Chains A and B, each alone.
Chain A
Amino acid sequence: MISEKKPGKICRYGMAIDIDKCTGCGACVIACAVENNVPPGNEGATDLTGITWLRVFKVDNGEEYPARQAVYFPMMCQQCGVETPCYLVCPQQAVDVDPATGVVGQMPERCLGCRYCMAACPYHSRYFNWWDPKWPAGMEKTLNPDVAPRMRGVVEKCNYCHGRWHAARQRAAEAGLRDIIPGDYAPACVEACPAGAIQFGDLNDPSSAPAKAAKDPESFRLLVKLGTEPKVYYHSKREWARRIGDPSQAPAPKEPARG
């Protein structure tokens, strides 16, 4: 479904992630799973078949000790702003780009599970429900009512915590406002990070952290040459880390992905 133009403020939500601050603790990964009702991994799940809307990778500079350095790299849907690949290939129009927020929304209720979008996504940010979601007995009580759980056979991904966005819109409506109160809406990973490495904001607002990161020469984005215009800006003071975004320059991992 093609979204139509709306009245009200036009935002472009993005993120600024400082990979020098990230310690790889994984609090963001778990907070994301808690907020979005992502089920615990099935017994047979591996790193290729599990569901981690947000995932932290360890990337090193390819050297041996003592020149070896590593960073921890949180990755979620990059919310491609131009020629969004998953949106373009979906046969069911189960992906929707909101012109008012820039968020690429995944609609599991429309998805038929062809996984074309997973093939199209250059960032591997989309995950398929290979199994029925199953929580241990009693744990369904802890599910978040603001997000609908998905059945097996559909694709899901990060939507910048749309449940929290809805709650912020409701709070704004209570105050009589049409637009979200600035600062009232932040995804779960942003709130959870103990180091404050993940920042969230409106790229159209010059005072927000992502807007500043967009202008910072020490910031970089992933796979810029593809022209997808991702809205997640990574920052590092180290030059080797800034080359992670360009695969022709980044060091290759020594171990292949497991699973």
Chain B
Amino acid sequence: MQNTRRNALKFIGGAAAGAVFTPAPWRLITDTALWSENWPGVPRPPRGEISARFTNCSICPAGCGVRARCVGGQPVSLAGVAGHPLSRGGLCAFGVAGHHLPYCPGRLTEGPVEEAAGAIARAAANCNPANAASPLAVCSPGETIAVLDLRPGRTASWTYRRAMGAVKNGLYLTAAEAFSGAAVDLAKARTVVSLGAPVLDGWGTPGNVLAARANFRLIQVEAIESRTASLADLWLRIRPGSASTLVLGIAAAMKKGSVTGAAAATGLTERQITDLADELTQHGPALVLPGYDCPEAWALNQLTGGWGETVVARQEAPVPEHWKNCAPVTRLESAPDGSIRTLIIDESAPGDYIPWNAIRRKLVADNPVVIAFAWSPGGYRRHSLFTLPTAVFPETLEDIPAATDSPAAVFRLAVPLVAAPAGVVNPPEFVAKAVGIDASNALRERADAIQKAGRGVLIAYADGRYTPAGQVRPDDFWKALNQGACWMDSEGRRTAPPAADFAAGDAPPADDARLPLVAVLAETAAATAPPSPLMSKLHRESNLRLGRSRAALHPGTARACGAGDGGRAVLETSLGKCEIEVVVDSSVPPGVVQVAAAPEVIDICGASARARVAPL
């Protein structure tokens, strides 16, 4: 046979025909299809034994009970604890994805531990410049070292107070708190007037609020159409920043005084204000809830007849006696300006974000040392000299203070479901150790003190059993708390809280031609801590929430500013500027810029500020 092209082609033709009768081509088709299914980069979920573990969520002070579905010990989904007396099985959007927090991008895992410890120790030591190794953080006479606790009421808060008490010039600071020593009993309320509090959008314990919702008429008094305003039984729209004036107007109306000034300032009619006062006094038991820009409204409850009924005294859970020899609680506002040399801010368990300028004025003018404990960037890390990384839910072992709407004292632990990375510190233990106190057993000591007091009941989540605390042995009490449980104080006789001052609030910001708009904070829930990246489903992949670094304007206002929907712009107030993305929303009142409560925005806006928006 010759080697011709014809023969070669015949060979190939024969081979092709023969190949059809072999498994090769058919298998290659199948295999290619299977290969295309195993796309690189698509993760394979880990396998393991499925179990349920229980804890309490520490993302916000509600401290809702959590049942974690775990695969091989790793939580893969979180849900509420059905039948929980406070959270009623509810868990908010942040809590449902809480198990993602340890893996948030940018999570802090290392920091200057030794320098920070040294700075605290030097500031706390008897100030003697000759002895100090470096002039950094040495206090002059009259200067103080202070701890700013953003979530007071925890066992950690007691540790800070003990640490500052052990030091000659130590101060323990918290932000203004309308509710200290008092709590709200929502179940008793029949009329609730909220002056901007996000009652249906993160206030108190959401499960508790929703369970009580059908029992009360909700009147929301607010400048913008917040989620609560859109769902309330009645929404009264007032001018931004006029809530404090309205408080005085309502108080005047209750005493049959003049409401003309309040009507003029808020934009409500006189009739609306007197009707509001009547509802509070006649359709009780009534409850007045202050918003973030009018904390003094709390005192109105003394005039409605709700004092002692819907607003009740609440003590803390028992505390070991020897702890009480400690620094007193000082309000940040009462600390003298320019007096703090070293400030320690515990941002690991955050509450409301305090604007930085309110803190800065209390620090000494030259080279103050600010040490922040945080688990994520943003927040006070932008202003601190040292930032030390901490653990985050669900890595932490910490207690959660009782929520605003829990009339009884409670004690519950967030227990570690996953291990924290090496290199994180425990803030209260760190500060205590730097001043020479060992607080590593504080939670156990607290639990023992509570069990010893013999009051109240222990509620275990795994089996739903209620056991009187006096009948449980101390070891079993501690073990139960660590396996997911809650101690609740007994229902005592309801008493009225200590009297509240009727301090006048701030006047609305004066008109300013250069800053024609008023900035109002929207979406205040969980402002400081970054949530799971899945939250993009709520503000970027849908329009349900206003995301951070976004601001909403009425279409007319947007046109007047020259900003378009989706455009980048600069938000400027008298305190500074920051970049935002503009969203056009016709539900925003004209003349108002609605901003999401992120730290950089609160720093420049505070409670309510004059602002302008200019396109970039």
Contact = CB atoms under 8 A, between A and B. Distances in A.
Interface of A: 21, 23-27, 29-31, 33-35, 37-38, 40-41, 45-47, 49-52, 55-58, 60, 65-66, 68-70, 72, 109, 132-145, 147-152, 188, 191-192, 194-196, 254-255, 257-258
Contacts of B48: 145
Nearest to B97: A30
B586 A255 contact: yes
Interface in B8-44: 37, 39, 41-44
Contacts of A24: 201, 227, 231, 544
B230 interface: yes
Nearest to B79: A191
A150 B103 CA distance: 21
Given A24-B544, A29-B537, A132-B39, A258 B102 contact: no
Nearest to A24: B227
User: Secondary structure at chain A's binding surface: helix, strand, loop or mixed?
Assistant: loop
A89 B367 CA distance: 70
Interface string B572-596: 0000000000011111000000000
Given A50-B536, A52-B542, A145-B47, 8 more contacts: A29-B537, A34-B77, A40-B537, A46-B541, A49-B541, A55-B537, A69-B230, A139-B103
15 contacts: A27-B96, A30-B96, A31-B77, A33-B97, A40-B533, A52-B542, A60-B587, A70-B230, A134-B41, A140-B43, A142-B103, A150-B42, A151-B37, A194-B80, A194-B206
B535 A30 contact: yes
B101 to A, nearest CB: 10
Nearest to B531: A30
A58 B230 CA distance: 10
Instruction: Name the 10 nearest CB pairs between A and B, nearest first.
Output: A50-B541, A194-B90, A41-B536, A40-B533, A143-B45, A151-B39, A70-B230, A138-B103, A139-B103, A140-B43
Interface stretch (B68-76, B188-196, B382-390, B471-479): B68-76
Contacts of A41: 533, 536-537, 540-541
A136 B107 CA distance: 11
B105 interface: yes
Nearest to B525: A25
Given A31-B77, A60-B587, A143 B210 contact: no
Contacts of B360: none
B273 to A, nearest CB: 15
A146 to B, nearest CB: 8
Nearest to B227: A24
A144 B77 contact: yes
A184 B93 CA distance: 23
B100 interface: yes
B545 A26 contact: yes
Interface string B370-394: 0000000000000000000000000
Nearest to A143: B45
Contacts of A140: 43, 45-46
A143 B78 CA distance: 12
A47 B586 contact: no
Interface in B408-455: none
A255 B541 contact: no
B540 A50 contact: yes
Contacts of A50: 536-537, 540-542
B237 A144 contact: no
Instruction: Pick from A50, A147, A194 the residue with the most CB of B within 10 Å.
Output: A194
B80 to A, nearest CB: 7
Interface string B516-551: 000000000000000011111110111111000000
A27 B541 contact: no
A135 B76 CA distance: 14
B207 interface: yes
Contacts of B225: 65, 68, 70
Contacts of B100: 139, 142
Given A35-B77, A41-B537, A65-B235, A149 B201 contact: no
Contacts of B125: none
A29 B533 CA distance: 13
B45 A37 contact: yes
A25 B536 contact: no
Contacts of A35: 77
A221 B530 CA distance: 37
B163 interface: no
A138 B102 contact: yes
Contacts of B542: 29, 47, 50, 52, 55-57
B99 interface: yes
Contacts of B540: 41, 45-47, 50
